[in-house]
């Protein structure tokens, strides 16, 4: 309700008070109007209720006017209306709420300026708490919203940068862990120094920086200790490396001689290769000879595996061609709609030939079977329908015969009463009995055939 539209607002006796209020950055407006003397003439509005004076009380902010309390003058019924659910306390509740929002803004700003990623949950909770408070649509609240949006942007920007640095340093840790297993001492030492420079260039990773640095330093120290130990015991290390590589060669030979399936043995050969890389250097002359022997074993295995799968591929192609031929035959039989004994046997024989055609490979085996099965189902569904049709035709004929026999039975039963001759009557009764037996036989035949149709 806009106070300027009040009936009596513009009368000369109305009193309008407008006060600026800094807390919500708006105006508090009070309109006293509608006062009348005993004769009903307008008089100066002084206080609510005095001379029937009415009161409109509200605020103006952010380009909008909100009515909080409206007590109609006595001449207009004297009713009280409230603009909010807070009723009489609306203004005080609004002021307290805006102060609470101001405090939340300060807390949000403080965390955003710190940029501490460990306070992300606290930051989000404060923003969520603010968003859960009632919005009175004041200019001050619009200002708060802008402050929070800017704070959120600052904080999220800092958090994202910190998180990016954390992820970058975690990637460096992974690289360092892989490097630490290397026995290429000179090159790896140089790479560790390069990683250190990159680490510093990335910048601070926030509250995780110390822990990440401890891990990086620990990995690097571990490598340096292993490096010093290596050079201290170089001859022993070379002898150990040679022994490990000889054992790996023996395992490779064993794997070559006990191939149960190619996948398992391939995994085994690859695992042996990984162990070879970690075994260390056995001295240039010996190392080259050991590698030649080991690599020859690996090459022989993978050549054999290639030949095996090429042979399988040829078998698959042969199987696919045979099955495609069987599919064509099955479709041809199904399309003829011939359900004779010969066609039925031919379709059954295709099943036997399919089994003998063998496996067609993972990519084609199932799809070929689905096409073949569809062609077979077309035939067997047609045969089933044809059988049903023939059974129904037989039933229809027997039903016709049954109807005819019943008519003949009725005629015979009536003829018994048309003669007094004993022999004639006896002969008719014999025919009636035979006719009844025949009718029962027909009914049983019809029932038997009907049961066959239902069980198909």
**Residue 86's pLDDT is what?**
93
Highest-pLDDT range among 190-194, 228-232, 310-314: 190-194
Domain extent listing, the chain: 3-83, 88-232, 235-309, 389-455
More confident residue, 9 or 19: 19
**Residue 455's pLDDT is what?**
63
Q: If we measure between CA atoms, which residue out of 307, 285, 299 comes closest to residue 252?
A: 299
Mean pLDDT within 285-291: 86
Average pLDDT, the chain: 87
Residue 20 pLDDT class (50, 70, 90 cuts): very high
**Residue 219's pLDDT is what?**
92
**Residue 8's pLDDT is what?**
67
Residue 9 pLDDT > 80:
no
**Residue 206's pLDDT is what?**
81
Mean pLDDT within 28-55: 91
Residues 357-368: pLDDT tens digits? 888 888 888 888
Residues 126-142: pLDDT tens digits? 999 999 999 999 999 99
Mean pLDDT within 320-327: 88
- List C-alpha distances in Å: 443 to 381, 397, 408: 29, 12, 16
Residues 243-261: pLDDT tens digits? 888 888 899 888 888 887 8
β-pair partners for 42: 36
More confident residue, 178 or 448: 178
Mean pLDDT within 293-301: 88
Residues 212-245: pLDDT tens digits? 999 989 999 998 998 888 777 777 778 888 888 8
Instruction: Report whether 60 contacts 26 (CB < 8 A).
Output: yes
What the block records as the tokens of 235 is 């001859």
Instruction: Report whether 101 contacts 141 (CB < 8 A).
Output: yes
Tell me how far apart the alpha carbons of residues 435 and 433 are, in angstroms, rounded to a whole number. 5
**Residue 29's pLDDT is what?**
94
**Residue 456's pLDDT is what?**
57
Residues 58-113: pLDDT tens digits? 999 988 899 999 999 998 899 999 999 999 999 999 999 999 999 999 999 998 88
Tell me how far apart the alpha carbons of residues 290 and 371 are, in angstroms, rounded to a whole number. 54
How many residues can be counted in the chain?
A: 456
Residues 391-432: pLDDT tens digits? 788 888 888 888 888 888 888 888 877 887 888 888 888 888
Instruction: Report whether 283 contacts 238 (CB < 8 A).
Output: yes
What the block records as the tokens of 344 is 């039925």
């Amino acid at each position: 309700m806009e106070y300027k539209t009040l009936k009596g607002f513009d009368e000369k006796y109305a009193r309008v008070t407008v006060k600026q209020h800094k807390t919500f950055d708006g105006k508090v407006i009070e309109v006293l109007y509608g006062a009348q003397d005993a004769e009903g003439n307008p008089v100066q509005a002084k206080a609510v209720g005095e001379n029937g004076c009415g009161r409109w009380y509200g605020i103006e902010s952010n380009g909008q006017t909100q009515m909080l309390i409206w007590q109609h003058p006595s001449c207009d019924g004297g009713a009280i209306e409230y603009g909010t659910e807070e009723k009489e306390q609306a203004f005080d509740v609004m002021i307290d709420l805006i102060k609470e929002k101001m405090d939340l803004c300060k807390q949000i700003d403080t965390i955003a300026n710190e940029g501490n990623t460990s306070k992300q949950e606290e930051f989000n909770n404060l923003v969520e708490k603010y968003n859960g408070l009632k919005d009175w649509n004041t200019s001050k609240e619009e200002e708060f919203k802008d402050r929070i949006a800017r704070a959120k942007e600052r904080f999220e920007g800092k958090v994202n940068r910190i998180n990016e640095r954390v992820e970058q340093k975690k990637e460096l840790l992974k690289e360092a862990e892989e490097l630490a297993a290397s026995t290429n001492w000179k090159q790896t030492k140089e790479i560790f120094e390069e990683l250190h420079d990159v680490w510093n260039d990335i910048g601070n990773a926030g509250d995780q920086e110390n822990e990440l640095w401890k891990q990086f330093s620990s990995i690097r120290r571990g490598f340096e200790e292993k490096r010093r130990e290596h050079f201290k015991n170089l001859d022993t290390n070379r002898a150990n490396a040679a022994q490990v590589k000889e054992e790996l060669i023996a395992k490779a030979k064993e794997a070559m001689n006990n191939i149960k399936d190619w996948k398992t043995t391939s995994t085994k050969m690859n695992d042996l290769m990984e162990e070879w890389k970690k075994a260390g250097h056995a001295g240039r002359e010996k190392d080259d000879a050991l590698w030649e022997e080991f690599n020859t074993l690996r090459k022989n295995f993978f050549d054999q595996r290639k030949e095996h799968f090429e042979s399988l591929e040829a078998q698959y192609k042969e199987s696919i061609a045979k099955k495609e031929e069987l599919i064509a035959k099955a479709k041809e039989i199904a399309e003829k709609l011939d359900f004779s004994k010969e066609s039925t046997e031919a379709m059954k024989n295709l099943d036997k030939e399919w089994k003998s055609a063998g496996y067609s490979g993972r990519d084609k085996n199932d799809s070929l079977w689905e096409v073949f099965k569809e062609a077979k189902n077309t035939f067997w569904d047609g045969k089933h329908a044809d059988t049903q049709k023939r059974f129904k035709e037989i039933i229809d004929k027997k039903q016709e015969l049954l109807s005819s026999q019943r008519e003949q039975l009725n005629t015979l039963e009536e003829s018994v009463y048309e003669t007094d001759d004993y022999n004639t009557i006896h002969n008719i009764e014999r025919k009636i009995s035979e006719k009844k037996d025949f009718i029962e036989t027909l009914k049983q035949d019809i029932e038997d055939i009907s049961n066959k149709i239902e069980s198909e």
